[in-house]
Structure 1
């Protein structure tokens, strides 16, 4: 982009100040313009009008009145250009027919310009007949066969002024449209930024909930078991403490990985891109839950199905959250079953338990987070009590990703 030169910047600043002053006090500018042209018209009425008049013997009073009628209406030209042009056209008609041929008649270009600048173009359809009629009347009366020498050049001048007003208006409208578009784009950019930030906060909340909620539930189960085993079987208590340490270190590692990604900008060489949990990590997950005291039976295919990384993370988190809820709410003596089925139309994960729910579902963040994860991949998640009335079931269905579909590129 070419930077404006110093004279251009100076002219732009002066223009901006004049426009600001005009917008603040439009009456001052209108009064100044009207005063200047009224003085000029009266000076011409003092005697100069005779140089172009067809009838120099007209009374000076009539000439002065006509001059004022052609100059004073300019004060209202911006507010009522149509009315001002009609009044001035009537005065111009009297000037032409009487033979005064006052040069103040050319002041009609000012309301004509304002009309073309601020009013619909159809208003010009009647403006040109109103301007042409006085010229034709005076030319036919005094010039005879040479009438076109007086009419045609003047009409061309009026046409040029009208085109100038239309051009300025088009440029102003185009500039206003560009500014409006820029404002809209800025608003859309801010909205997209807020939506992206909200989506990222929701993703972080899901990850934090799954990591902290599950591991704390496992640690709680291990601690309760270790407390009961401490008096009777010190070896079992030691195993529980060891499992607590392992689970705590695993939770800290996942948290550091998540916080590390947040702390480093995207694309930076120091960003930690350690893979998120996948289907291969289901076995260690189930083993940790078993150590916490919940018997879990697994029905996993061998080999495990190949899914996009994001879909594998969704399956892992749903299984993790389901078993966490079983640990917290199913009660003592409950067991759980995890079943993973891969079919051509998609992947189905079912987690069931034999416990009795201790409260109404849907109060916490867990079920909402699972549904949000499923929705990211156009999947469905159904959860509720088993038909027999004892136990709970969570069923996740993820449809098969189409080739080159957006699901394959989601993180």
Structure 2
């Protein structure tokens, strides 16, 4: 608990520092030249103050260096810092002659230490092999100074310089590693976000296809039944008013069933924040086939059914069989003509295997369904269980249309 309390107390300060750091980096990205000018201006000012105030004389072994030369060396070792981030290697090469002149004349200006800042940017931005020649370039003036004006052990002065180089390099590599790690995390987050969006789009497309398939099955079948009933009622109105009234009752019943199914589907899709749960009912199954066939027969299509074996299918396979039969009969109602009949042959096997054949006796040319969601929907449902679906005119001399569905046995898990 104590550590957690300390972390909570430290969080506001840490967040404040991180917020300032983010703002500084954002400002730098927006105005890089302004930031470079500010940094270079600071060090140029410091070098000129050292020159004007004569502070360089406190450490210089040669006090007879001309003032104009000290000014030139001060500017030569500080002004190039403006390009330190964009061209660090070129900047170090530009500073090298001034650093050598600084060591040779004995001025030993403190501005020569600004080369360490350039070495830091080389470690940060250039290939690491560039550090070898950068180290040699910055060490050469130190060796010249030790050879001409050395005081004390030469290895101490060279060692001190190399230690400073190592520190600058380590800081540059550390910052570089952090930048690379952050960039990798940002790239990974960006790719995950793109992948998430793609998965969402695929899921939405699959859901739209499923909804379109369900609505096609519901609306297409029921409207076909209603159309058949309306046509039959129109012919019966003049000769048998009782049969016309029965047709109207059947139309009303079928319409209410279609509305109820659509309402349940739309209730599931609705997401309006209401607390009333959607009314959920099971999807159609083989036990609902009799009701489906009764509606088709009422619409004027005689249907004969043959069943072999005992049905023992999972709910998903039952829905596929139901929808395929529903779509086949709907197409017969739409396209087969007024005198057509239909026959359904169901054969159940072991482990969920089932074969369904739906044939009709209509005109084979007229029975072909137009391009739409019907046949693609049946094939999509069949493909879910590795089955096959054949749909086409019956072979000569038979007339009509044939839909053949086969679902193989369920594969073991």
Q: State TM-score, norm by structure 2.
A: 0.88
Say yes or no: does 1:211 pair with 2:230: no
Aligned to 2:385: 377
Query: CA offsets per residue over residues 225-271 of structure 1, 9 Å max, x none?
Result: 222223333443343333333323322332232223223699x8834
Tell me by how many angstroms 1:2 deviates.
5.9
Aligned to 1:15: 21
Residue ranges of structure 2 left out of the alignment (5+ in a row): 1-6
SS at match of 1:57: coil
Tell me by how many angstroms 1:322 deviates.
0.6
Distance 1:340 1:4, change over 3 A: farther
> What is the RMSD computed on CA atoms of the aligned residues?
2.6
Residue ranges of structure 1 left out of the alignment (5+ in a row): 405-411
Query: CA offsets per residue over residues 105-136 of structure 1, 9 Å max, x none?
Result: 10012211222222222222321121222222
How many positions carry a matched residue from both structures? Answer: 402
Write the mapping of 1:256-271 to structure 2, written as runs, cut at 5 A.
Answer: 256-263=263-270, 270-271=277-278
Distance 1:231 1:32, change over 3 A: closer
Tell me by how many angstroms 1:153 deviates.
1.5
1:4 and 1:403 mapped to 2: Cα distance?
57
1:194 and 1:291 mapped to 2: Cα distance?
42
2:160 and 2:152 mapped to 1: Cα distance?
16
**C-alpha contact 1:384 1:393 (8 A) present in aligned 2:** yes
Q: Indicate which of 389, 396, 402 corresponds to 1:393.
A: 402
Q: Indicate which of 51, 58, 69 corresponds to 1:62.
A: 69
Say yes or no: does 1:254 pair with 2:241: no
Aligned to 2:283: 276
Say yes or no: does 1:33 pair with 2:42: no
Q: Indicate which of 116, 119, 122 corresponds to 1:115.
A: 122
Tell me by how many angstroms 1:397 deviates.
2.5
Tell me by how many angstroms 1:330 deviates.
0.7
Aligned to 1:319: 325
Query: CA offsets per residue over residues 28-61 of structure 1, 9 Å max, x none?
Result: 2222222222232233234322322233333333
Query: CA offsets per residue over residues 169-217 of structure 1, 9 Å max, x none?
Result: 2112222222222232223222222222222222111111111111111
**C-alpha contact 1:362 1:368 (8 A) present in aligned 2:** no
Aligned to 1:161: 168
Aligned to 1:310: 316
Name which of structure 1's ranges 385-394 and 18-27 shifts more when overlaid on structure 2: 18-27
SS at match of 2:308: coil
Say yes or no: does 1:335 pair with 2:341: yes
Tell me by how many angstroms 1:8 deviates.
4.4
**C-alpha contact 2:336 2:367 (8 A) present in aligned 1:** no
